[in-house]
Structure 1
Amino acid sequence: MSSKVPAISSKAPVMLHGADYNPEQWLKYPEVLKEDIRMMKLAGCNVMSVGIFSWVSLEREEGVFTFEWLDQLLDTFKENGVYAFLATPSGARPAWMSEKYPEVLRVERNRVRNLHGVRHNHCFTSPVYREKTALMNSKLAERYAHHPAVIGWHISNEFGGECHCEYCQNAFREWLKVKYKGDLDELNHAWWATFWSHTYTSWEQIESPAPHGETQVHGLNLDWRRFVSDQTINFCQHEIDSVRSFNPELPVTTNMHMIDGVDYRKMAKILDVVSWDAYPDWGYTEDDDDARLAAWTAMHHDMYRSFKKKPFLLMESTPSLTNWQTVSKLKRPGMHKLSSLQAVAHGSDSVQYFQWRKSRGSSEKFHGAVIDHSGHAETRVFRDVAEVGRTLAGLTDVVGTTTPAETAILFDWDNRWAVKDAQGIRNSGLKYEETVLQHYRGLWELGIPVDVVGSGDDLSGYKLVIAPMLYLISEENGKRIEKYVEQGGTFLATYWSGVVGETDLCHLGGFPGPLRRTLGIWAEETEGLHSRDLNGLVMDPGNTLKLTGDYDAHEIAELIHLEGAEALGHYRSDFYAGRPALTVNKLGAGKAYHLATRVKDPQFYVDLYAAITGKERISRTLNSELPTGVTAQLRSDGEHDYVFVQNFSGNEQVVTLDGQEYTDLESGTAAPAELKLPVNGLVMLKRPTAKA
């Protein structure tokens, strides 16, 4: 039975390939616009995102709309087989609006209103801004919602940021009244506001966090972040509502970019398609470890795919360098194809770039683009893009396929916010995202598909659920995890888990709070270690995972007591030498592991998850040993599997296949028993899906 989902657009049921396109910058250069169309076809590009920052070109003065240039562009797209994601232009408003309606400009944490400038400098609560965006969007929708070239709405651009104006302060207070049912006493208790005599006696006293005001009430900080996220999502919904009715069949998306202030898992619920912008700094990370960076990028691809359990869009990436990273190096040979197909391997049905043509001036004039200032196709970058275009054209069968994951990692936004706000064991850096990555990379190195989910999501379909540093967890979600384990699931948690509840109040009765029964341990103390400090995890002889060895540990160490759990490994040194550092607890039909310290060696996580997934009979994409830095990712339609073997190791590698019948997707011929992968190389394979 096919497990495909419908293509993102029935007009273009193929792999999408294209870029952000800004023709309004080139209206005085008609020869450039004509040449662009020719080179789009030459590069195998079939979609462009247009209109993202075009507001002033569409409404040069208030109420005076000029759509002729966009009419001509979309008609030309139609004639040449190019499609468009049509953007609402709210990411940057015109100067005339800032001048006439200064309330649209953001107020910063210091309560100073910004001047006009940059982008994303607008208040999501402002009635005027909402009115103006609704008017502009409805004009666009009325004119283009049924245009044959338009295949979807691109709502604004990389939503993020916060405003502290009076509109937002009042909206925050109303949000709090709803959350706490109008009970100020309940709010004061939830925030533990008796601390430092911070008790509020009227709603009007509540202000958002400020550098010259309140910053130490963690419940306030957390609720403010939640409010900002909700208000941003509410504004996105406002924009969607302003275009949806003109053609309800036209899908909507907005490009996400791992901005800290928006809970994208919640935002995804109002979108038809998830899309995101990926800009890894290949080849010039501080540790010069492209494999680590590849795992980091893969984890985010998996996160965006997991929001809706269906294909997403890689809406932006760079075909060359960026202009904003610390060092802007070029992509090495092979890396453009490898990194582009990495997104497809993890569930993207598109590869798109910022940008099509380099801006001639201003801040992005040196940001990478398909077309350089030279203006022609005889460049290394263009050839790389055209090669990806040819490859994507041959992957139509992959469109709509899904990723059957038996393993999930928990990643919650409010947990992330609370961890970063915590003042305690290691103020030099608790490294929440790094902790999640350590565990994800172990699975990535093994070629095990992973979903990245929230603690409130349904976990029942997974054999293994991993919760790195689940510092914030409600009693309700703790019970859900307990039930998951009792019913046969396997769960793994780490140090600094089960510490606070949903309002950032510490759980009483001992950590890890609502996970204590599940894990079968009590964490009496947690210690932060200096960077120079080193301890270790020594595996116990005869442990049930059959792991051996002595692994270096650093940064965080938890002193735990066994309350039904069994020790698998102990600390190596210091006054807690010999105390449990890795445990397992049997509960009902399942089991729960606890890792009490941060292990430094990446190989530990590979060894740990090889052992656990082997015991739980969790499938790898390939039943083969993969060299370090080489991974295999799976997409499937239920009849055929599509296997992407990718080499991020920095060296030539050889992978021996597992004896199944494989076809090379690019050549259409039978795959050899051994795959020879050059530096930055990949091989795409097809095989029959194994029947359960």
Structure 2
Amino acid sequence: MINEKLAKIWYGGDYNPEQWDESTWSEDQRMFKLAGIDVATINVFSWALNQPDETTYDFTWLDNTIERLYKDEIFVCLATSTGAHPAWMAKRYPDVRRVDFEGRKKEFGGRHNSCPNSPAYQKYAERMADKLGERYKHHPAVLVWHVSNEYGGYCYCENCQKAFLVWLKNKYRTLNAVNAAWNTSFWGHTFYEWDEIVVPSGLSEEWQGGTNTNFQGLSLDYRRFQSDSLLEVFKLERNALKKHTPDIPVTTNLMGLYPELDYFKWGKEMDVISWDNYPSIDTPVSMTAMTHDLMRGLRSGQPFMLMEQTPSQQNWQAYNALKRPGVMRLWSYQAIAHGADTVLFFQLRRSRGATEKYHGAVIEHVGNEHTRVFRESAQLGQELHHLGDKIIGSRVIAKVAIIFDWENRWAIQLSSGPSIALDYVKEVHKYYDAFYQNNIPVDMISVEEDLNQYDLVIAPVLYMVKTGHADRLKAFVRNGGTFVTTYFSGIVNENDLVTLGGYPGELRDLVGIWAEEIDALDPAHYNQIVFENPYGSLNGQYQCNILFDLIHAEGAEVLATYGSDFYKGMPVLTKNRYGSGEAYYIASSPDESFVQDLISTICNEKGMKGEASSTGGVEVTARKKSDKQILFVLNHNEEKATFDLGNKTFMDQLSGETYSGTSEINGRDVLILKEENNNEIH
């Protein structure tokens, strides 16, 4: 439970009363009550209001806002307001302004605009958090602290240059170690003094916005450094708050698959994970599910906060489609099904001006409750109130894990070949989707996670194998686990130095193959995965593209071979016995039907089944506590569809209707089911 003061799924979102007058505040709270809103996120971008100059702090408006909300039984998620620095700070302390990739000093404007290594920013951000913690440490309305907002973006200023050298000295100790890690003997880049090192930018080693670099080790370390730098300023504020309120959880809103920060590292420093979910109208629902599971995995499966979603439409995509009727409710319950204990929106009332004035809100510009969006919001609020504490405390339990690693993602992007078409997230999602289609729960885990709790571990495109990771994978398989990895794996260590002695490096004996060469062709060019003999659900011929490892079996069983080109007949799918377990290697990027059939085959061999069977587009997910579970049946189709519960009987916790065997669910509808003889979670 995030905070015992409110033992239900929290419902509400970002609220900006400072943008409105007193008469509007009264209307807001009237409609909040109608919608069942019980949590408001406030003070997100109010630094300039709270601190009009260097020495003045004025929280009068915030005092009044918190009191006004709490009198109507609305709690607050209290932000620290440091997501954008005030104009006076940018003027008086130019070092707070970032320098961009091209070496240009930014002027005041926008947000995400503060250099994390600016002494002035660090000083005033920490001080703001300290003052807020001191002022509101005993206020009963405060449920959770929200530090800054959507951290992101890199800086290349002089302060970052200096801090980077300190970071390097702490990591490597000597210049000889730096030169070895970065292979600086290439192109005569050997460093003899620390201050000869410059940050990798458009002025030095990188180009095309940082997607290409001459020295991968240097660029990888700068990404680690920038992620760590932003994390350090989060920790400054967190620690200031914890000094006053050790029992109130602290979070900051992450952004799912955002590429620039190592969220597994961030997750260790947050009391509860929160994130902002903004899929487009054509985002696969399984991609959203995967991202929820990834956010849940940042703290080893603990429930998380859905901090932001839009009730209707976004304002920043190329085509800002409305959420169709029922979709907001459906996607809200999808978040809950995958581990969220809150449903919060951006925003509660639409802004009148500036860039987010057309971003959706519970209260539209018309300013009343007579809108489709408000009616849907109020329905959801009523349902969450009805559910009460029935879901709180339950968790998603999975025996399958997929490894996701931000540093591996960076390394693949920066790898200087062999193919620009290789998309790490898409390759990971391809395997996740195979489990999703069969309603089999998955944990998205880091390379550091304990594997003993899983039966099956998938590591798509594990290009970077960090120190000790291969040993953990081998121990997992040796003890009876099943491991699946793919082409372009085991190539480099954490410094992007190639592991010599043949691909896939440290994984070679585990998977029982040697990859002699890697062919890269235009994605429009396909080869074939050919099965001479059926293997489980795998039979006949499939297609593959992007990369093609030319592998030789070294003890592994060859299950399928390439069907064309000069490597026709060479292995493309192998299975290797290793200790009591087995390891599969897929030598190319296969089509979705292959992945579906492979995963079905492995799951059948291991006796792994989904929570229920269903037709396409019907998601069935479970949250469990002890031996009790709640099934979430989510129909992502516009039309009615079916699902099969077998011989068990369940009661829908929203309608009270009972379901068993093959049942129907309406289009874009949600059922929350418990076995009829277990109507309470204990």
The corresponding residue for 2:6 is 12
Structure 1 counterpart of 2:235, one-letter code: Q
The within-5 A match list for 1:26-425 is: 26=20, 29-181=21-173, 183-215=174-206, 216-257=214-255, 258-282=257-281, 285=282, 293-308=284-299, 309-395=301-387, 396-425=389-418
Please state whether the residue corresponding to 2:122 is helix, strand or coil.
helix
Structure 2 counterpart of 1:225, one-letter code: R
TM-aligned CA deviation for residue 502 of structure 1: 0.7
Say what the alpha-carbon RMSD is for the aligned residues. Answer: 1.3
TM-aligned CA deviation for residue 631 of structure 1: 2.0
Match of 1:574 among 565, 568, 572: 565
Q: TM-score w.r.t. structure 1 length?
A: 0.94
> 1:203-232, CA deviations, whole angstroms, 9 ceiling, x for partnerless residues?
101111121212311100000001111111
Structure 2 counterpart of 1:74, one-letter code: I
Match of 1:585 among 563, 576, 594: 576
Please state whether the residue corresponding to 1:549 is helix, strand or coil.
strand
The corresponding residue for 1:558 is 549
> 1:499-557, CA deviations, whole angstroms, 9 ceiling, x for partnerless residues?
110100011001111111110011111112213211121223143x3521321212221
TM-aligned CA deviation for residue 200 of structure 1: 1.0
Match of 1:24 among 1, 5, 18: 18
Hey, what's the Cα distance between the residues in 2 that align with 1:422 and 1:649? 40
For the pair 1:440 / 2:432, whether they are aligned, the reply is: yes
Structure 1 counterpart of 2:397, one-letter code: P
Match of 2:604 among 614, 617, 623: 614
The corresponding residue for 2:211 is none
Structure 1 counterpart of 2:435, one-letter code: L
The within-5 A match list for 1:627-646 is: 627-646=615-634
640-649 vs 84-93, greater mean Cα deviation: 640-649
Contact 1:536 1:571 in 2 (8 A): yes
Contact 1:557 1:598 in 2 (8 A): yes
Q: TM-score w.r.t. structure 2 length?
A: 0.96
Contact 2:503 2:515 in 1 (8 A): yes
> 1:38-61, CA deviations, whole angstroms, 9 ceiling, x for partnerless residues?
111111111011000011111122
Contact 1:105 1:122 in 2 (8 A): yes
TM-aligned CA deviation for residue 681 of structure 1: 2.4
TM-aligned CA deviation for residue 161 of structure 1: 1.0
Hey, what's the Cα distance between the residues in 2 that align with 1:632 and 1:527? 39
Structure 1 counterpart of 2:457, one-letter code: V
Structure 2 counterpart of 1:276, one-letter code: W
Give percent identity, aligned residues only. Answer: 41
Match of 2:586 among 595, 598, 605: 595
Aligned residues: 667
Please state whether the residue corresponding to 2:411 is helix, strand or coil.
helix
Hey, what's the Cα distance between the residues in 2 that align with 1:248 and 1:643? 35
Please state whether the residue corresponding to 2:503 is helix, strand or coil.
coil
Hey, what's the Cα distance between the residues in 1 that align with 2:310 and 2:153? 23
The corresponding residue for 1:678 is 666
Contact 1:570 1:579 in 2 (8 A): yes
For the pair 1:456 / 2:448, whether they are aligned, the reply is: yes
Unaligned runs of 5+ in 2: 207-213
Contact 1:463 1:618 in 2 (8 A): no
TM-aligned CA deviation for residue 394 of structure 1: 2.9
TM-aligned CA deviation for residue 278 of structure 1: 0.4
> 1:620-650, CA deviations, whole angstroms, 9 ceiling, x for partnerless residues?
212x2x2222221110111421111222245
Hey, what's the Cα distance between the residues in 2 that align with 1:531 and 1:609? 23
Structure 1 counterpart of 2:396, one-letter code: T
Please state whether the residue corresponding to 1:643 is helix, strand or coil.
strand
Please state whether the residue corresponding to 2:434 is helix, strand or coil.
helix
Contact 1:474 1:514 in 2 (8 A): no
> 1:88-128, CA deviations, whole angstroms, 9 ceiling, x for partnerless residues?
11101111111111111111122221000000100111111
The corresponding residue for 1:652 is 640
Please state whether the residue corresponding to 2:246 is helix, strand or coil.
coil
Structure 2 counterpart of 1:617, one-letter code: G
Hey, what's the Cα distance between the residues in 1 that align with 2:531 and 2:26? 66
Hey, what's the Cα distance between the residues in 1 that align with 2:459 and 2:14? 37
Contact 1:582 1:595 in 2 (8 A): yes
Contact 2:617 2:635 in 1 (8 A): yes
Please state whether the residue corresponding to 1:446 is helix, strand or coil.
coil
> 1:577-617, CA deviations, whole angstroms, 9 ceiling, x for partnerless residues?
222111110000100011111112x2322221111112112
346-355 vs 520-529, greater mean Cα deviation: 520-529
Please state whether the residue corresponding to 1:332 is helix, strand or coil.
coil
Structure 2 counterpart of 1:640, one-letter code: K
For the pair 1:509 / 2:507, whether they are aligned, the reply is: no
Structure 1 counterpart of 2:298, one-letter code: F
Provide closer, same or farther for how the CA distance between residues 494 and 650 of structure 1 changes in structure 2, counting only shifts above 3 A: farther
Unaligned runs of 5+ in 1: 1-6
Contact 1:409 1:466 in 2 (8 A): yes
The corresponding residue for 2:210 is none
Hey, what's the Cα distance between the residues in 1 that align with 2:637 and 2:428? 21
TM-aligned CA deviation for residue 651 of structure 1: 4.1
Match of 1:521 among 513, 518, 529: 513
Hey, what's the Cα distance between the residues in 2 that align with 1:165 and 1:407? 43
Contact 1:310 1:400 in 2 (8 A): no
Please state whether the residue corresponding to 1:548 is helix, strand or coil.
strand
Hey, what's the Cα distance between the residues in 2 that align with 1:536 and 1:391? 50
Provide closer, same or farther for how the CA distance between residues 158 and 653 of structure 1 changes in structure 2, counting only shifts above 3 A: same
Structure 2 counterpart of 1:194, one-letter code: S
TM-aligned CA deviation for residue 238 of structure 1: 0.6
Please state whether the residue corresponding to 1:174 is helix, strand or coil.
helix
Hey, what's the Cα distance between the residues in 2 that align with 1:537 and 1:389? 50
497-506 vs 452-461, greater mean Cα deviation: 452-461
> 1:445-477, CA deviations, whole angstroms, 9 ceiling, x for partnerless residues?
010111101112111110000000000012421
TM-aligned CA deviation for residue 392 of structure 1: 1.6
Hey, what's the Cα distance between the residues in 2 that align with 1:438 and 1:234? 34
